A and B are shown apart, each in its own frame.
Chain A
Amino acid sequence: MTASGPEDCPVETTNDIRIPCPAGWSRQRTEGTDLVLLAPPAGNGAFRPNVVVTSQPYDGSIAKLSTFAMAAAIAELDRAHLIACNIWPHPAGNGRQIEYTHQLGNQVLHVQRWTFAVNGRAVDVTATCAATQLTAFDELFGYLAAKIEFRRAG
């Protein structure tokens, strides 16, 4: 399985952010989320990599938001293994890049989550693929994360 290239990405928007949509990916409506982008099906029951944007009111620190996100991953997911928590600088305000694996059924999934405390809101962009797909999708996910724009200037 190979990831599509980042060229010619149309932009998808939520109330909070703008993010590119990779060529061939589809946008889905899913309750409780602001945006879901789904990779085209690859067949063979392979996991479909996806990007999910969620947001909610929040006026605390990014340190607290980050700690909350990591604690939630450990508490709510099966065999979560935290890999990284890095400062993710953004002109709108500092964020974090949090990374972990967890088990879903028989699969091990790899999650990168960019989380921001901006404009009185907590905004999460979560990119998920199978652990075995990371090498193929890492560059695309990194590109999407680098292109996140907040719609209301902070």
Chain B
Amino acid sequence: MAAFPHKEPRTEAFASVHTGEQLEQLSGIAARQPYVSQGPWLTAGSLQLLQTAAESGRLGRFGIAGKAAELDQLVSAGLLTDKGKLTGQGRLVTSPWRDSVASLRIAAQFGGRASVFQAWLGPEGCLVLAGPSYDRFLAGNSQAGHQLDFLALGHLYPAIAAWVGIAPAWSLASEPLSIDLQTVNRRFGGETVPVPEGADPVLVNMWRQPWFIWQLLVEPESGHPETFINAGESGHYHLAVAEDRAQLNARPSGALYRDLARAIDRAVHR
């Protein structure tokens, strides 16, 4: 039988005051569940080398000439031999490049800096290349490069959830507000942009959070990608755009997770 603590939990200040209910603190959870991968960090040069090797099985003498540092990363990761030939592991990990049923790409930005998460879904597993994740940007620790991983399909769901920072948050209803798209774009760029006129307290609070903006593209299939904003303690928002106006609509984290899960499922069972 569980021993319940005596103390009442901390409450989420804004959400509790706004709703008049005792709402437990949820902010801070995202930072405690980072994107975790055991895979190696690769530079753009190493990645290019790996792609060339994956296409032809090996890099020729000329392929590796002058690229000792790039080759070294791949040899240390167990993907290539020091002669530039794919290892068994290297063949398995890169197999989705040759034989993928679908691929997905999440393009993100935070404070004007970009990152990307890519996954190629193959019969043997998913090849993942992950740039800096939400938690790294939040912690100011967004090193360049891509972390390579090879995951079973089931592991892709929490990996993406962690990468974009899906976590519990109090998604509060707000009054719809039509905002000039240019204003939103400047806010995307990380500039200090005043809160749009007519914003209610929920939108004001959301506007002041750090924003991690992302779009999901699934190949083949995708139409126009949807834009989502991870607005920290304010939760997640979908950006609805019509011509030069935009509207920010709360998207509860559970619903957003299902958007992602359905996108993966559709890609796999197409």
Bound: A145/B254 CA distance, A? 15
The verdict on A64 contacting B8 (CB below 8 Å), with A107-B154, A132-B154, A134-B261 known, is yes
B158 touches A81 (CB 8 A): yes
A63 touches B252 (CB 8 A): no
Size of B's binding interface in residues, CB under 8 A: 38
Q: How distant is B153 from chain A, measured CB to nearest CB, in Å? A: 6
- CB 8 Å contact bits of B17-59 with A (1 = contact, 0 = none): 0000111111001001100100000000000000000000000
Binds B, one of A5-13, A18-26, A53-61: A53-61
Task: Tell whether A149 is near chain B: CB-to-CB under 8 Å.
Answer: no
Bound: A132/B154 CA distance, A? 6
Task: Tell whether A130 is near chain B: CB-to-CB under 8 Å.
Answer: yes
Question: Cβ of A131: which chain B residues have Cβ within 8 Å of it?
Answer: 154-155, 157-158, 261
Q: Which residues of B are at the interface with A, using a C-beta cutoff of 8 A?
A: 1-2, 4-5, 7-9, 11, 21-26, 29, 32-33, 36, 152-155, 157-158, 161-162, 166-168, 171, 252-254, 257-258, 261-262, 265
> Can you list 7 residue pairs at the A/B interface with Cβ under 8 Å?
A63-B8, A67-B9, A79-B36, A81-B161, A84-B252, A98-B168, A110-B157
Q: How distant is B233 from chain A, measured CB to nearest CB, in Å? A: 13
A61 touches B22 (CB 8 A): yes
Q: Which residues of A are at the interface with B, using a C-beta cutoff of 8 A?
A: 56, 58, 60-61, 63-68, 70, 72, 74, 79-87, 97-99, 101, 103, 106-108, 110, 122, 130-132, 134-135, 138
Question: Cβ of B257: which chain A residues have Cβ within 8 Å of it?
Answer: 83-84, 99
The verdict on A106 contacting B4 (CB below 8 Å), with A63-B22, A83-B254, A85-B168 known, is no
